Structure 1
Amino acid sequence: MYDSSKIKILKGLDPVKKRPGMYIGNTDDGTGLHHMLFELIDNSIDEYLAGFCTTIRIQIIKYKILTIEDNGRGIPIDTHSFGISAAEIIMTILHAGGKFDNDSYNFSGGLHGVGLSVVNALSEFMKLYIYRKNKSYKQLYLNGIPTTPLKTIGRTKKNGTKISFKPSTKIFINSSLNYNIIYKRLQEMSFLNKKLKIVLINNEKQIVLYNEGGIKTFVAKLNNHKTNICPIFYLHSKKTNMLIEVAVQWNNSFTELVKCYTNNIPQTDGGTHLFGFRTALTKVIKTYIKKENIKNNYSINSDDIKEGITAIIAIKMQNPKFSSQTKNKLISSEIKIAVENELNKTFYLYLLEHPKESKNLIKKFINSAKIRESSRKARNVARKRLALDVAKLPGKLSDCQEKNPKKSELYIVEGDSAGGSAKQGRDRRIQAVLALKGKIINVEKSGFEKIFVSNEIVTLITALGCGIGQKEFDIKNLRYHTIIIMTDADVDGSHIRTLLLAFFFRYMPKLIENGYVYIAQPPLFKIKHIKKDIYINNEKDLHKHTLKICLKEKQLLSNKKYISIKKLLLKYISVYNISNKRKKSDLKLEKNYLNDAYYLNKFYSFYFYLNKLVLSSNIYYVLISFKKQLNKLNNFNDKINLFFNKKIFKSFYKLYDLIQLIFYKLFYKSFYIQRYKGLGEMNPNQLWETSMNPFKRILFKMIIKDVCKANLLFNILMGESVKPRRHFIQNNALLANIDL
């Protein structure tokens, strides 16, 4: 019976324990766990904003024990009117804190007084240390309940607060901390709060984050590897109840990267500070063009100014207002006027002080306006081609029978050959196939108006059905919620895949953000062994499977095999010496090595070790990589160092090739290994079994973990500048799968 007895009143911290998701978000995917850590870090940063903290230490040790320490004022320890210490009030009562007025904290990210108490409620234990007024205090909490009152434990000269806690394993069952997420957030905080020292200790690894330049350094980092058009513009304006910081720089790309913050809290949806920023820039630039009598036949607007801009807008103010609890959008009306007024005064002076760079900027804006006008005309022409009527879908699309986008899949393949196999092998009920001809246009180097010149791009947009552009894109009209890029496992296939990802990232990012874009993993090899076909995805797995079979058949390094190997090596060396007129000294050196049975066995152990890990197909780079890791193999280390002797390296390199040839001859007699050069080589049944069968295929979901890094990577790999790309290739050559 539903009556008053069924009405429950939750007291103290019980609401948090009963419904933790209301306070910290998801407790299963790591979101809530990170939120707890950031709540405590934000409290320390608030001490920095108040002018009392210079250093924050964050320590992560095994079993998820986290420690946050700052050198701020320390939590108050005097007795509250409730009869207990102020520290215990903050730790055990929701909506209790020192941020509800402006006396203790001028600027603050935490405004609701739930941070410490929520973390305490969701922790198995929490140790609180306070250093204040030359004394040290300690209090222990178990499951949110204090075991003793706050106690004095000694004297000290330092000030601050230290909190160690272990999140409850009953609440956070499957979640775990992600070091990269923590590092990114702390790095962001170090930029936004210049001269604040942040020390991150992950077990024994320690990283110190400290920035003198603040958001200017932040913009410089974001624009690294880009061709910048002008120096960084920086605005710092401090008022009674407000601090405005803005850093801006333009580069020669077409993409916009603007990050907005209020009291260190990021606003992914912008708000009044962003609106004031854009309004002021547009107004100042139009005024500059008019006063400098610059010839211009186009009307410049904020869209033209956004192209190639990198900016940080950091506001600190009292009692900011947000559109929701997530604080993703600032709605404080007074900030728009303040940002706009400050930029109107300072940005115009910046343009006057940099006449050469200003003219290049204006030239870029005028060109953007010209392209925008051309794009508008191109879109009008292309609208008929992008009709959503099924009867007008492109002929290259073999559509599926299913009309529910949640159940529909689109395979994007290259060429008619792969398209033919995919169309025959697919499940026609739910799988559609779009065969693109050749490589699509590189959108990183092309303006928006050039997209509609590419038939392949128009075909793809039409097939997806969701339109393109800020005004016309509507994800509700997307016809497939599983979009799979399936290209050949070679250089051309990788290039086409990257071109498609660049297009989605730049012009349809919502597809990636919603988890709709995948990369297929077709097999690269087929091993036929004892009437069984084994499909292998990469060279590393090929070595693993072949070695596994060899070990199973007990064929490795038996005495008979050793004798056979030695004889074959001597035979091949003699033949090689005659055919290549090699020096006798080289031949003698190699024979000496081969007569050393201990050394040869060690060499073979090392050889198989290399093959198991397969860092590279080139032995030279493998050895260089492994040389740094061979200190554990002291007896063998001296022998390995001989390989780097200039006199014998070339002979060893050729010797390795011979050994590899003999290895295949001795051990792979029972194998038949086929390497697929393209999807068209696979018949429809094979393609279905390996790459399209939902129960057997391997798909990689595309996720943007860091927009800044993704933006930088596409700019390096696909952009106009050659030097950063060459540098990237040189640094990552050993990790790449290069098809020669």
Structure 2
Amino acid sequence: MVTAEYSAHHLQVLEGLEAVRKRPGMYIGSNGSPGLMHCLWEIIDNSVDEAVGGNGTRIDVILHADGSVEVHDRGRGIPVDIEPRTGLTGVEVVYTKLHAGGKFGGGSYAASGGLHGVGASVVNALSERLDVEVDRGGKTYAMSFHRGEPGNFKDSGEKRPDAPFSPFEKSSELRVAGKAPRGVTGTRVRYWADRQIFTKDAAFQLAELENRARQTAFLVPGLEIVVRDDRASTGSATESPTSATESVEVSYRYDGGIAEFVDYLAVDAPITDTWRIQGTGTFKETVPVLQANGHMTSQEVERECRVDLAMRWGTGYETVTRSFVNIIATPKGGTHQQGFEQELLKVLRAQVEQNARRLKVGNDKVEKDDVLAGLTAVLTVEVPEPQFEGQTKEVLGTPAVRQVVAQVLRKELGARFTSTKRDDKNQASQLLDKVVAEMKARVSARAHKETQRRKNALESSSLPAKLVDCRSSDVSRSELFIVEGDSALGTARRARDSEIQALLPIRGKILNVQRASIGDMLSNAECASIIQVIGAGSGRTFDISAARYGKIILMSDADVDGAHIRTLLLTLFFRYMRPLIEEGRVFAAVPPLHRVIVMNPGSKPNETIYTYSEQELHALLAKLRKANKRWHEPIQRYKGLGEMDADQLANTTMDRGGRLLRRVRMEDAEAAGRVFELLMGNEVAPRREFIIDSSDQLSRESIDA
């Protein structure tokens, strides 16, 4: 049972934590899944801070089947002795006192992610039950909390959050639960989130947890993070594991640090190697310091800021940057990222001006977008007591960090550009060529946009001759079919609705733009025609509001070559016209594979049924046999769109009333980029391995030869 009264001993503690329970969004952002995950990050980050300080090389995160989560580290263990000012053990201070911890004075942690001293106590306040065990000094100490109040649970068998709870009356007790092996230290925290606080659909997201674990393993070389999801055994996992009966366990450890992180994030072909830039800088700031008598006094202190940066440029135009402060991600940037971007622009702008004659720059100036195009970078800074904007730590606010990052980048990147090594000189030259090419493309696109008005289909005289356009200029209704081959074009021309459906034939397989440069793509006739017909530009200058058609439909044959052509087209859209995919305006037509003519008795006309897969055909034939119906033999198998007549193509593939379309979606751009690089990129070996590993899944009968 749960007691409704607070004991006087802990009344003051609970008053502090009650503020957290009343306004959880102030501390964790929301009371949905993001807030639930933020609580988990707070506990994990405490363990990571121990590992960063050289204490422990492994952290286990376990999602239990009962909805609880456990974090186990091999650090020094939370102090178990009495804190003199409060008279409480270190464990109770950490988990019940707001703004209490070992990260204020800099004695225990030189630079840590947790600095407000509210992380563990906030998680405790928002948990129905929290159990902590500490291995220290040859003993295992344990303490339990119910919604922030320390006490004892009367467990019978498995630990449960609804077990009878008795709060401590006069004084708290940190009990000795057993012996710890000699030399073993660490902390285990297991908690059940309070469903009075969090919404019913709030759940731990395994994919998000794995991404965070992987990211942290990159940032702390040598640290192993193991994530185990036991929810699979009960089917309660929000993601669908590969097995319905076994736990899912993954382990992350990277010894290469952020340089390996950059290589993981980058998906395009490299122009430069991954450049590693490191340095330190000092600054002074006035901060309140807690004195021995308990008073806060302002004092000027000197801080040291360590900067570690890894970056590389690739052939693409997408920018991927990740910034961190003391291992904590700052997705909304802050002063460290501002200093990086501003100084990067200054250095490269100066280099372009020095080489203006060779690069044929003219009077145009390089802008930030030109420099960031194709850049993949990971920036980390270590700062004692950084100033974050709020407990969620999404933005760094320490002003002096901007200048420190700029100084380190100016010195190290300048040395890279003035290096006499042949490899460095070649890479620097290629980088400047890319930056200037991006600048010229931006200037040309702006001039083109300013001088050329949008023309509708009837006014345009510069569209490709092979385009069979529609009469309507209403973008919301119009559709562009990209058709494989001239033979299919003839049939599609007769099958289309000429008011709203336009046709653009492509000959054979277009260029694989994942492996080609921008110049090669633009000089390819088929790629250039598609971009020109859609009319919204390409790459960073793509303007979806200028697109001439509401739907782009890829219509290729229902065979292996047709699938390959469709993949090549999707690669073009993903790399250079991605907003069309993001807004769900790209579709794949689904032409039928078979035509079955069912014979009806007497004068009743025969019935025509189309099927779209071998399984669907076999199911139909079984149904017809059961009904004692006959059909014409042989069953027609379409090997291409050109084999259909206009009526058949219209009814099955083009007519809005009866056709089947597959919308191309992209929920995770990063994952989609990795898939395109795997399928269409320069590395052939992974594709070969995929074919070999999956060969047993291929049926010989399905090979159309």
Rounded to whole Å, the distance in 1 between the matches of 2:674 and 2:132 is 42
Structure 2 equivalent of residue 259 of structure 1: 322
Q: Does the CA contact (< 8 Å) of 1:412 and 1:434 recur in 2? A: yes
Separation in structure 1 between the aligned mates of residue 119 and residue 309 of structure 2, nearest angstrom: 29
Give the partner amino acid of 1:501: L
Preserved contact between residue 371 and residue 449 of structure 1 (Cα < 8 Å): no
**How far apart, in 2, do the equivalents of 1:533 and 1:119 lie?**
64
Q: Which residue of 1 aligns with 2:224?
A: 197
Q: Specify the alignment match of 2:406 in structure 1.
A: 340
The Cα of 1:81 is off from its aligned counterpart by 6.1
**Map of 1:165 onto structure 2:** 191
Which amino acid in the other structure matches residue 409 of structure 2?
L
Aligned-CA RMSD value: 5.1
Q: C-alpha distance in 2, partners of 1:526/1:80?
A: 85
Deviates more, 1:508-517 or 1:177-186: 508-517
Q: Going by fraction, where is strand more abundant, 1 or 2? A: 2
Unmatched runs of 5 consecutive residues or more in structure 2:
1-13, 151-164, 231-246, 283-302, 601-606
8 Å contact kept, 2:311–2:377: yes
SS at match of 1:336: helix
Matches of residues 456-495 of structure 1 in structure 2 within 5 Å? 468=538, 470=540, 472-473=541-542, 485=554, 487-495=556-564
- Quote how far apart the aligned CAs of 1:443 are: 3.7
SS of the residue corresponding to residue 191 of structure 1 reads helix
1:154 matched to which residue of 2? 178
Match of 1:702 among 665, 676, 687: 665
- 2:425 aligned with 1:364: no
1:491-518 deviations in Å (ceiling 9; x for gaps): 4433343334333433344454566655
Equivalent in the alignment of 1:247:
310
Matched, 1:414 2:457: no
Counterparts in 2 of 1:310 and 1:685: CA distance versus 1, 3 Å:
same
Q: Aligned residue for 2:42?
A: 39
CA distance in structure 2 between the partners assigned to 1:235 and 1:312 by the alignment: 12
Q: CA deviation at 1:164?
A: 1.8
CA distance in structure 2 between the aligned counterparts of 1:509 and 1:437, rounded to whole angstroms: 20
Opposite residue 63 of structure 2, the aligned amino acid is I
1:52-131 correspondence to structure 2 within 5 Å: 52-77=55-80, 78=82, 87-88=91-92, 90-91=94-95, 99=103, 102=106, 104-120=108-124, 123-131=127-135
* Superposition TM-score, scaled by structure 1 size: 0.65
Partner of 1:444: 514
Q: Are 1:502 and 2:571 matched, yes or no?
A: yes
Written as runs of structure 1 = structure 2, the 5 A alignment for 1:207-606 is 207-222=250-265, 226=269, 229-230=272-273, 232-235=275-278, 237=280, 240-250=303-313, 256-268=319-331, 270-278=333-341, 280-281=343-344, 295-298=358-361, 301=366, 306=372, 309-320=375-386, 330=396, 332-350=398-416, 355-368=421-434, 371-372=437-438, 375=441, 379=445, 382-383=448-449, 387-388=453-454, 390=456, 396=468, 398=470, 412-414=481-483, 417=488, 435=504, 437-438=506-507, 442-448=512-518, 468=538, 470=540, 472-473=541-542, 485=554, 487-513=556-582, 517=586, 519=588, 521-525=590-594, 536-539=611-614, 545=619
Distance 1:172 1:540, change over 3 A: farther
Q: Secondary structure at the match of 2:423?
A: helix
- Give 1:286 deviation, angstroms: 7.2
Contact 1:219 1:248 in 2 (8 A): yes
**Equivalenced residues, count:** 610
Deviates more, 1:249-258 or 1:37-46: 249-258
After TM superposition, give the deviation of residue 364 of structure 1 in Å. Answer: 1.4
AA at the equivalent of 1:188: Q
Letter matched to residue 154 of structure 1: G
Q: Is the CA contact 1:252–1:308 (under 8 Å) kept in the aligned structure 2? A: yes
CA 1:727/1:308 → structure 2, altered by over 3 Å: closer, same or farther?
Answer: farther
Q: Does 2:676 align with 1:714?
A: yes
Q: CA, structure 1 residues 68+385, in 2 after alignment: closer, same or farther (shift >3 Å)?
A: same
Answer whether contact 2:271 2:430 (CA < 8 A) is retained: no
Structure 2 letter corresponding to 1:216:
A
SS of the counterpart of 2:666?
A: coil
Are the equivalent residues in 1 in contact too, given 2:483–2:505 (CA < 8 A)? yes
| C-alpha displacement of 1:732 | 5.7
Classify the secondary structure of the residue corresponding to 1:62.
coil
| Cα separation, 2, equivalents of 1:127 and 1:183 | 24
Is the contact made by 1:199 and 1:209 (CA closer than 8 Å) also made in structure 2? yes
The answer on whether the counterparts of 2:340 and 2:409 sit within 8 Å (CA) in structure 1 is yes
Distance change (3 Å), C-alpha of 1:166 and 1:456: farther
Structure 1: distance between partners of 2:276 and 2:391: 32
Cα distance per residue 1:120-172 (max 9 Å; x no partner): 45545432223345543323345665534553123435333211234456745
Residues 577-605 of structure 1: per-residue CA shift (max 9 Å, x gap): xxxxxxxxxxxxxxxxxxxxxxxxxxxxx
* TM-score, normalising length: structure 2: 0.68
Contact 2:417 2:424 in 1 (8 A): yes
Distance 1:39 1:695 in 2: 53
1:68 Cα shift?
Answer: 0.6
- Could you tell me how far apart the structure 2 residues matched to 1:542 and 1:193 are? 55
Q: Whole-Å Cα distance in 1 between the matches of residues 63 and 568 of structure 2?
A: 40
| CA distance in structure 1 between the partners assigned to 2:120 and 2:489 by the alignment | 58
